């Protein structure tokens, strides 16, 4: 109702108030009787609608749950039927709302709110049903089912909340209406008595009410406009009247709602646009860049402001195309282009491989507005592909360079690899065998099936199989087959390595022919060698006996010479000559001791020189009647075996040095010590060190020119006999250091 009409009707109602005062009582009773009837109709209808909605919502939730967890054949039809019943119940409540609205029922505002809540609930319900139908056409995990069950539960709780609020509203509304009717009847009776007085004041009251209502609505409009101008798009003008101001408020609210949706949608699109990992460029039909996303700028090295307004052909490499205009016409003609490999050009001129797609945006008249270009950087993928190709070529090169045949089959027993060695041996080209069964290469097909049976049981096979070439010629190959697995250890087939052993087997057969004759020859030769060995052993035993006898006789002869010298010395009164006789006797004894050691030795050619040194020194101590308490002997020696050629001069040297020490180093029964060290050095030289801590040699003696027989003998034996070095340290005693190698004469048997 217009504001002007309200004013006119207000004044007319005041004028007619007096006229209708008589009939107001009867009219009031009729109107309130009708209102009571209206109350019964609307309340019953809304209660009936609420019950229907509640029952259908419950059944629908039960069937949807079963439809999601364990769908049956007719569940979708039952769901559709319940959904239709729910729609009918909503329509029934809508009719009740329309009745209340047409009757200007103040509760119609809240009923409208329930209708909006029912509409939102139904929209969510339809969306959930569609998702469940889609999911039931797929195999979904328990996790997804649980998620959907949670959504169904939330939706059911939401519906139950609406029904609960509706029932509470209807109960409260019914009570309010009944109370309102009672109060209204009482009020009408009172009004009928005082209407005459009220008619005077009514004009003033209606004027105040209308003016305040209009001013209040205008204030709400003003405040809402201010809030929206601040950017608060959630502001709504709460005016529900049907007059010009109410219509203006409704239009204002609709405009704000549309603006809010547009803003939210734009923000959503902008968020997607800015977060895309791909490069997105929007160009005009003339090829001018209009918009770019941040990833495009960061990848190409431009600022966004630099790209906007730039020609697109400065960004994309189109040298292999006719022209930019022709290419854009091609994009417009195709309208959609998917996953074409092209190159983008960065700011520094570097080319980037991209996977290019485009789509044309048309207006209502199908005129081209924009061209959307989406590109994904595939430079890394290109590098990986190139590396994979190189690796594949490298692996293929290794396979083809193998001298052995390499054949691979897949899980269906089809040949997938046949290297050059296999092609050369079998006579097939690669394309002749790829995808075919390897049984075509086996001479006996049953033998090939047996191999596959072993592979199925053990996963590997080693043996020899007769194969056949393309011309039918058979040959024997040693074959080794193992399981073939991919990088994730999944079984993908078998790989076999073969080697033609036909020639090898032929040679083995020829060798077998000569084996028996060779074995006979070896047996005869062995028999001859054994007989010869027996003779040699007999001869060696004879020589060993003879050699022992020689050593024994030499030792005895030397002992006889020593005894003769001993007997002769008894008739010599000159002490100097007697001493010389004794020295000669000791030298002979040292040589005799060597022959005695050789006689006792098992080898008859070498003696244990460590034992010899101890025995020789002890004999000398006994010869000169040396008291062990005055002069002590300390011998340190490695276990060294010396031949007779080396042992005799060494023994004579030891004899001379110890004799000199015993005779001259410790006068007047002076106490002292004699040391003998004999060991092998790292360079395989032998070191003999003999010394004492006696009075030492005279300071002016020249070792190389001395007339002393003993010292001359030591020097000559060391240098000429042993071919070694001899050094003398004459300080607080005397130390002889002799270094030599064992003399290499032919070993005696």
Give residue 425's pLDDT: 92
How far, in Å, CA of 161 to CA of 167, rounded? 10
Residue identified by tokens 């007997």 is 567
CATH architecture of 276-377: 2-Layer Sandwich (3.30)
Nearest-angstrom CA–CA distance, 662 and 488: 89
Tell me how far apart the terminal alpha carbons of the chain are, to the nearest angstrom: 149
User: Is there a common fold for 276-377 and 387-500?
Assistant: yes
Both structure tokens of 37: 């009837």
Say how far apart CA 559 and CA 552 lie, in whole Å.
Answer: 10
* C-alpha–C-alpha distance, residues 505 and 435, integer Å: 32
Backbone angles phi, psi at 602, to 5 degrees: -80, -30
Residues 549, 554, 555: CA angle, nearest 5 degrees: 100
The CA distance from 167 to 589, in Å, is 141
Two tokens at 68? 């999601």
For tokens 């020119």, the residue is 705
The domain segmentation of the chain, as residue ranges, is 16-199, 276-377, 387-500, 505-602, 606-740
Cβ-contact 42, 206 below 8 angstroms: no
- pLDDT value, residue 332: 77
How many angstroms separate the Cα of 665 from the Cα of each of 363, 668, 670, 692, 697? 132, 10, 9, 7, 8
Q: What are phi and psi of 702, to 5 degrees?
A: -105, 110
Residue with tokens 């060294």: 640
Counting Cβ atoms within 10 Å, is residue 3 exposed (0-12), middle (13-18) or buried (19+)? middle
Bridge partner residues of 478 (DSSP): 464, 499
| Helix segments in 459-501, DSSP class H | none
> Which run of H or of E encompasses 519?
helix 502-569
741 in helix, strand or coil? Answer: coil
Determine contact, residues 657/707, Cβ cutoff 8 Å.
Answer: no
Q: Name the fold adopted by 387-500.
A: Beta-Lactamase (3.30.450)
Q: Which residues in 486-529 belong to E strands, given as ranges?
A: 491-500
Distance CA 536, CA 109 (A): 136
Cα distance between residue 268 and residue 265, in whole Å: 5
Asked if residue 421 lies in contact with residue 403, where contact means CB atoms within 8 angstroms, the answer is yes
Neighbours of 36 (CB within 10 A): 14
The first and second tokens of residue 373, run together, are 């270009």
DSSP secondary structure letters along 632-695: EEEEEE---EEEHHHHHHHHHHHHHHHHHIIIIISGGG--EEEEEEEEE-TTS-EEEEEEESSS
Report the distance separating Cα 717 and Cα 642, nearest Å: 16
H or E element that contains 23:
none
pLDDT of residue 36: 57
Q: Do the Cβ atoms of 673 and 631 come closer than 8 Å?
A: yes
Q: How far is CA 437 from CA 411, 412, 419, in A?
A: 11, 9, 16
Helix 108-136 with 75-102: angle, nearest 10 deg: 170
Q: Are strands 279-283 and 336-345 parallel, antiparallel or unpaired?
A: unpaired
Q: Are strands 686-692 and 672-680 parallel, antiparallel or unpaired?
A: antiparallel
Q: Dig out the tokens for 336 from the structure.
A: 């959609």
Radius of gyration of the chain (CA): 63
Order of strands across the sheet that contains 491-500: 415-418, 405-409, 491-500, 474-485, 460-468
CB-based contact 606:643 (threshold 8 Å): yes
In which residue ranges of the chain is pLDDT below 50?
264, 546, 746-749
Is the Cβ–Cβ distance between 335 and 346 less than 8 Å? Answer: no
676, 672, 670, 601: which is closest to 642 by C-alpha? 601
Q: Is 318 exposed, middle or buried (0-12, 13-18, 19+ CB in 10 A)?
A: middle
Instruction: Dump the DSSP string for 220-275.
Output: HHHHHHHHHHTT-TT-------SSHHHHHHHHHHHHHHHHHHHHHHHHHHHHHHHH
Contact (CB, 8 A) for 3 and 245:
yes
How does strand 405-409 pair with strand 415-418?
A: antiparallel
Q: Are 581 and 642 in contact (CB under 8 A)?
A: no
Q: Supply the DSSP symbol for 745.
A: P
Q: What whole-number distance in Å separates Cα of residue 448 and Cα of residue 467?
A: 9
Strand partners of residue 498: 405, 479
Assign a CATH topology to domain 16-199: A middle domain of Talin 1 (1.20.1420)
pLDDT attached to residue 334:
73
In degrees and rounded to multiples of 5, residue 717 shows phi and psi of: -65, -40
In this prediction, residue 14 carries a pLDDT of: 61
d(CA 296, CA 302): 8
The whole-angstrom separation of Cα 270 and Cα 82 is 41
What is the DSSP annotation of 373-431?
EEEEE-HHHHHHHHHHHHHHHHHHHHHHH-SSEEEEE-TTS-EEEE-HHHHHHH---HH
Whether the CB-CB separation of 696 and 733 falls below 8 Å is answered with: yes
- What size, in residues, is the chain? 749
Q: What is the pTM of this model?
A: 0.31
CA–CA distance, 648 with 175 (Å, rounded to integer): 146
Domain 606-740, what fold? Heat Shock Protein 90 (3.30.565)
């Amino acid at each position: 109702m217009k504001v002007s009409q309200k004013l006119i009707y207000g004044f007319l109602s005041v004028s007619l108030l007096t006229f209708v005062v008589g009939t107001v009582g009867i009219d009031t009773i009729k109107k309130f009787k009708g209102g009571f009837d209206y109350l019964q109709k609307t309340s019953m209808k809304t209660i009936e609608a609420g019950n229907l909605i509640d029952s259908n919502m419950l059944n629908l939730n039960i069937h949807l749950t079963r439809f999601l967890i364990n769908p049956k054949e007719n569940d979708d039809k039952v769901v559709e039927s319940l959904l239709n019943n729910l729609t009918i119940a909503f329509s029934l409540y809508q009719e009740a709302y329309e009745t209340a609205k047409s009757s200007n029922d103040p509760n119609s505002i809240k009923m409208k709110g329930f209708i909006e809540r029912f509409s939102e609930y139904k929209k969510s319900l339809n969306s959930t049903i569609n998702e469940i139908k889609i999911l039931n056409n797929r195999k979904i995990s328990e996790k997804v089912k649980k998620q959907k069950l949670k959504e169904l539960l939330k939706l059911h709780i939401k519906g139950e909340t609406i029904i609960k609020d509706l029932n509470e509203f209807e109960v409260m509304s019914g009570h309010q209406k009944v109370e309102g009717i009672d109060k209204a009847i009482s009020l009408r009776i009172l009004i009928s008595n005082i209407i005459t007085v009220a008619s005077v004041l009514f004009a003033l009251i209606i004027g105040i009410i209308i003016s305040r209502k209009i001013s209040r609505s205008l204030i709400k409009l003003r405040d809402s406009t201010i809030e929206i101008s601040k950017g608060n798009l959630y502001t709504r003008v709460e005016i529900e009247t049907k007059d010009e101001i109410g219509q203006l408020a409704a239009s204002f609210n609709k405009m704000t709602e549309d603006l809010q949706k547009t803003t939210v949608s734009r923000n959503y699109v902008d968020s997607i646009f800015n977060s895309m990992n791909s490069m997105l460029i929007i160009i005009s039909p003339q090829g001018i860049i209009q918009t770019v996303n941040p990833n495009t700028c960061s990848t190409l090295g431009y600022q966004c402001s630099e790209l906007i307004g730039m020609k697109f052909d400065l960004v994309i490499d189109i040298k292999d195309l006719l022209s930019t205009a022709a290419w854009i016409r091609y994009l417009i003609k195709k309208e959609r282009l998917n996953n074409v490999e092209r190159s983008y050009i960065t700011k520094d001129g570097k080319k980037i491989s991209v996977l290019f797609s485009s789509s044309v945006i048309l207006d209502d008249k199908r005129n081209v507005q924009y061209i959307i270009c989406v590109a994904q950087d595939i430079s890394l993928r290109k590098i990986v592909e190139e590396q994979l190709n190189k690796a594949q070529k490298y692996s293929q090169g290794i396979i083809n360079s193998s001298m052995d045949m390499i054949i691979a089959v897949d899980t269906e027993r089809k040949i997938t690899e046949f290297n050059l060695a296999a092609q050369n041996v079998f006579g097939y080209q690669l394309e002749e065998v790829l995808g075919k069964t390897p049984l075509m290469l086996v001479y006996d097909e049953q033998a090939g099936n047996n191999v596959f049976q072993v592979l199925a049981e053990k996963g590997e096979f080693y043996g020899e199989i007769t194969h056949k070439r393309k011309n039918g010629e058979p040959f024997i190959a040693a074959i080794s087959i193992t399981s073939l697995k991919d990088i994730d250890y999944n079984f993908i087939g078998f790989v076999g390595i073969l080697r033609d052993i036909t020639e090898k087997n032929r040679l083995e057969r020829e060798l077998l022919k000569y084996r028996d004759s060779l074995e006979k020859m070896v047996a005869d030769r062995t028999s001859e060698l054994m007989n010869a060995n027996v003779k040699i052993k007999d001869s060696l035993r004879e020589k060993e006996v003879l050699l022992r006898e020689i050593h024994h006789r030499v030792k005895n002869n030397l002992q006889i010479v020593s005894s003769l010298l001993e007997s002769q010395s008894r008739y010599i009164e000159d002490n100097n000559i007697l001493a010389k006789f004794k020295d000669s006797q000791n030298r002979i004894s040292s040589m005799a001791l060597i022959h005695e050691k050789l006689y006792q030795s098992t080898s008859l050619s070498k003696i244990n020189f460590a034992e010899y040194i101890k025995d020789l020194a002890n004999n000398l101590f006994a010869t000169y009647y040396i008291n062990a308490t005055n002069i002590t002997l300390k011998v340190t020696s490695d276990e060294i075996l010396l031949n007779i050629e080396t042992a005799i001069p060494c023994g004579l040297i030891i004899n001379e040095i110890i004799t000199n020490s015993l005779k001259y180093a410790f006068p007047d029964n002076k106490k002292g010590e004699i040391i003998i060290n004999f060991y092998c050095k790292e360079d395989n030289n032998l070191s003999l060190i003999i010394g004492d801590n006696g009075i030492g040699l005279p300071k002016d003696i020249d070792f190389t020119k001395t007339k002393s027989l003993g010292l001359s003998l030591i020097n000559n034996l060391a240098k000429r006999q042993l071919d070694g070095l001899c050094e003398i340290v004459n300080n607080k005693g005397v130390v002889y250091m002799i270094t030599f190698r064992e003399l290499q004469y032919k070993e005696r048997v």
